[in-house]
Structure 1
Amino acid sequence: MYEKRIRARDQFLSESTDEPRARVVISKSWERSRKYRIDPLIRQAPAECYDDQEPCNRQLPRIQRVVAHIVGELQPFFDEKYAVAIADQEGRIVDLFARGRLYEQLCSVHFSPGGLWKEEHTGTNAIGTALAVGESVVINDAEHYCESWQPFSCAGTPVYDLTDHTVAGVIDMTCFAEEFPDNSLLLTNLLAKKVERELNKERQMEKLILENQFLHWTWTLPNDILVCIDSEGRMIRTNVLVEQWNRLLAACGVRRVEWSEMFEHFDKVKPNKWTELPLNMQTDTAPSMMSVNVFPILSDERPIGAVIQIPHSRSHALEQRAQIVLPNSSKLSVSHSPCPPDLPDEETAASLQAPVGESPKWIEIMNRARRVATRDVTVLLCGESGTGKEEIAQYIHSMSDRRNQPFLAYNCSVVTHDLAASELFGYAPGAFTGALRTGKVGLFESANGGTLFLDEISELPVSVQAMLLRVLQEKKVTRIGEYESRPVNVRIIAAANRDLETAIREGKFRLDLYFRLNTVTLYLPPLRERPSDIPLLVGYFLYNMHNGKTGRNGRSITISPETLHYLTAYHWPGNVRELKNTIEYASLFADGGVIGPEHLPEHIRQAGQGTSISQESAHPEKTAKSNESINQMRSDNEEKQRILSVLQSTRYNISKAARVIGVSRGTLYKRLKQYNIEV
């Protein structure tokens, strides 16, 4: 094979009229190398001094840190035969993991940090060719365009930044040609996928930190324009409508705002302090500078973004300037809501607030909820306890034509058969022992014209389910002890935190009632599946505390970025309700006004995460199933330990324990039974 490859290369270099017998990816790379006028006899790759602390290379330490951690896990698989190199998007090597004679030989050709291995510099090679074609490649010995690289064979796989789908770098595995393994691409692909996941995880964590800081300053500076940018100068959040902002800039002749240039002045910025810096606004004629205030946002002592404040006086000057060009242009309106609601009309805009969240899963739920609200149909909400089913039910009611009528909620898991029937349907005077002499109006009659929310409907006794089905079918209710039916006009929204189909098979839930309720079903995702919403929810809870809505006397409280790491690492079995209780708990002990990790409950501080790549590489399918089982067992064990801890701290008071955990008493009883905990 080597002889065939060397003949094909020699044939190409001699400019023979015969078609070179090389792979298509190789022959095209040779063509590019010739176009770049690469000397096939060069002895070393060009190199430049590499400083991983350069401000312009903020992405590089991120890639290096992640890869160094992963290669550390793979260290047992490597010896002096194999080397792993990490290159950036320009083909510059930023790190090399190699030993012995191989390391010395690679360094002699500048295959080391600082070496430039894009095809424009060194011809056909795994790093440069992978960047050129955007996919994994293998380059064997004589397939290299330059003779000095031919003692080696290599495999390269691009690493993609999943936030914008651009190439962030290349993972390369290189060894002496005679020792090149057949599964080299399997290894580089595995490493690249792992790096992409870790990069994406770090990007998402940084986004959470940025959004939390942005929300804090939104409430602190309610009258100024605020813009949050990441380390690449991309706008993450703003408290004005983007369309309004773009129209205003266009009216002022501004074509582009150079947000990224803010980081060129970060040597003048002090941590945790506002600094006045110039903002470059490109116009059709000449650059225009405007002074803005910048607050740097750091993670692990490195800048990950900034909040930019345009004071009201300066934004007002822009508005006046825009009025000259567009006399009818509207003024900028600043939003004070952590998640601006999309409301159907101006009449309800002042009073409604959509449940907080902006993750794709939550946005889909909210879009469906808004659509369902305009149709007077029965809705079934499914999801784990604490995911916000009652809040969604209230939102649907508030967006519907029934919004000016009653909204009543009833938990079906906390009562017996007789009590459930009397609560829902009412009873006549003296209908049973202990009944009120005046009788009682049931929830169906009380909610007439409005909405009745039936929570944990799967726990409703089967006999009461039959009575409920009759009311839904006939739209009439008969009080216990009476024979006369009363017409009712009530919209039903039901919720279940267990699988109703399983309950049907077990004979615990009626199939006909299920079909009656299941006109529209919304599945609410658990909090662990939408971690990007955690900072928004935390900010929303702290915002309510700051405004005195939760009994904290209006004391302003914020949260540190490190604490957000703990909150997003935790799996939240109690979902949003547990998160709210945790923030309430932590705020009690945050005497300095900032919630730190030390203020969190111990079980959240101890939450851990991580998976060994060596296990994944050995048996990926088996490992996935094993990890799923292990994670479930770990989750169950953590939840059991937490329940035991809370029970001890509340002296086994079920009501208090349920409030602390963030679940209903009925749900807590089911968990006690599930984990064989005796009370």
Structure 2
Amino acid sequence: MLSLEELSKQRRRLEESWDHFLRDPRAAGNSSIRSVVLESWSRCVQSGVDPRRKATDISLKEDQIKDILQYSQLYELSFPILQDLSLQVKETGYLVTLCDPKGHILFLDGDRQVLKKAERMNFVVGADWSEQSIGTNAIGTCLEVGQPVQIFAAEHFCVGVQDWTCSSAPIRDPISRDIIGVVDVTGLWRDSQPHTLSMVTMACGTIQSRMNQQIAGARLELSEHYQQTQQRYPGNGVMALDAAFHPVAVNEEARRILRRHSGREVEQWWDNERIHAALFASRSPSVDEGMYEVTLEECGIRVVVEEVQWSGRRVGYLLILRPMGSQKTAGGPTVAWGGVIGRSPEILSVISRCDVVAHTDVPVLLLGESGTGKELFARGIHQAGPRRNGPFIAVNCGALQKDLLASELFGYAPGAFTGASKTGKAGKFEEAQNGTLFLDEIGEMPPEFQVHLLRVLQEREVVRLGSSQPIPVNARIIAATHRNLEEMMRRGEFREDLYFRLHVVSLTIPPLRDRRGDIPLLIDHILDQLSKRYHIPRPGLEPEVFDFFVHHYPWPGNVRELKHALEYAVLFCNRVITWRDLPETLRKAAFGDSGRSLTPYVSNVVSTPGDPRPALERSTARPAPRRALPGAVEAVPASKLEPTPESGANPGPVDAAADRQQLLQLLEEVGGNLSEAARRLRIARTTLYRRLDRYGIRKHLKIE
């Protein structure tokens, strides 16, 4: 490290060189100035940058920054590394920033006193630190040369920045290798340290590594989706594209279809901007935003386009191709199932059978617990079948009063009863004409009314209340219930003849606890929806909470309960969902009624479907290792940057109270000296900070 006297001499030499350059830029060739700086000064002169500038411009407004950060994968992946870096440099008088590829500051943290001084030159979030705006500086020059750069004092082109030293390194897209951001560490020139650039470069390397892992995970997800789609739709052409619309996989059937109907190979066919525009620029609405159908008239091909999501982001597309003149088979693709999240064998089996019955007109009885998504499957059957262009009418039989049931389902004639409309009213059967009528909670229908429903199903006609004129109806019937209809028949609560009329095909929607492999996908999907709905950054989950969700909690309310639990948590969490953010019912399931830590830890519990005992009374066998949910749903991984055994440990609910108490006791013993506390714990000081913040100790206790 250079002494202050040495730094002062160096600064004076640079100021002289800078002054000579401004008087005669052409004579600077013999200067001792580094070539990267001299070339940058020349660019500044050519761009007309005023060397007398004292501050840069603030280009991004607060709402613009919020929108950028909400959907920025770079910010999401960088945030824990930047936090860790800022903790390291805070006491050294430095600031840490993350900038976008245009030089706008998106993240800024560090020493508070230095932050105030930096505000004078608009070194703030939203400011433009490109060379074109504020001349030679590490951020802007790094973006220009694409290499790590350190700029000291009067190496800065503009006089208002010459009291500072800054070190920046670029972050590149793992595939295109384009610069997508810059990490910068800035401080006052007197605090200049030669190792700062190495530290910044290492931080960028860590971010780059995380991005590489994300890309690898996204490619794996796309590949798995491609393979499953081929299995799900045999005989169809299938083509996988990455997020940049580059083909990554094409099956032989797709090649055959394209040769026959377009006369071109896949590569030639795809190298056509009109095809891209037709497929992606003019999306047509569908049941689910992630899946839609496009007709390519010039090629004579119909294409179902399915977006592939991973970690809340689109990572690619699947194109499912078939000729325009071909008949749609039961195994053909539709947009009907885009809203069903899951790829477990259990859920794919149900979808496959629903696809088969969708192309018939037989009544379907959907069985399953509350919250499993029976209406979603009913809508899927409707959308997948020939009645998709007709209405889908849903009726909750359990929500209607007995005296209103007949008028709601069958309608009524003018003046049929006091208060009736003078023009009469069509019932749900008539409204569903040429479409589908979904009778939800059919088990709640009163026995005395079931005979009337049976007659309509047999005769295919309804008679409105107050009328004797039969009206023909042509509607497909899909019924659903969470109750055991066979047991109800034995008790005389449900008519046997109605049961067999509805029970031509019955399909059971599996409960969430029986398809736990889909829970990470559901969490991912739900959090993405919630972040968009509430316009907030997408939160993560602590590992213990994630493990509890995926492996242990029995989810008696199924997908509906998972949605509500996550929505509750999102409203109260601070970027990461922890135990305290969960609804009380889930906390009690994990900790017991006392709300305090119990033994054994809930991660040792394997929940058994249908077992009514409290979770902690069941097996204490260790669960199988889980596959971590990638990206935002994985817990904040800052601790993973330090490979000490303690640093990666994140106490579970059982250990948390004891861990907090031990920390308080240790801080009392060392008189609040954090360095000594970290030394005794044999962990990095930054790791200690995180543990103190996790338990809210730092903000409540007066410690160093």
Could you state the TM-score of these two structures normalised by the residue count of structure 1?
A: 0.45
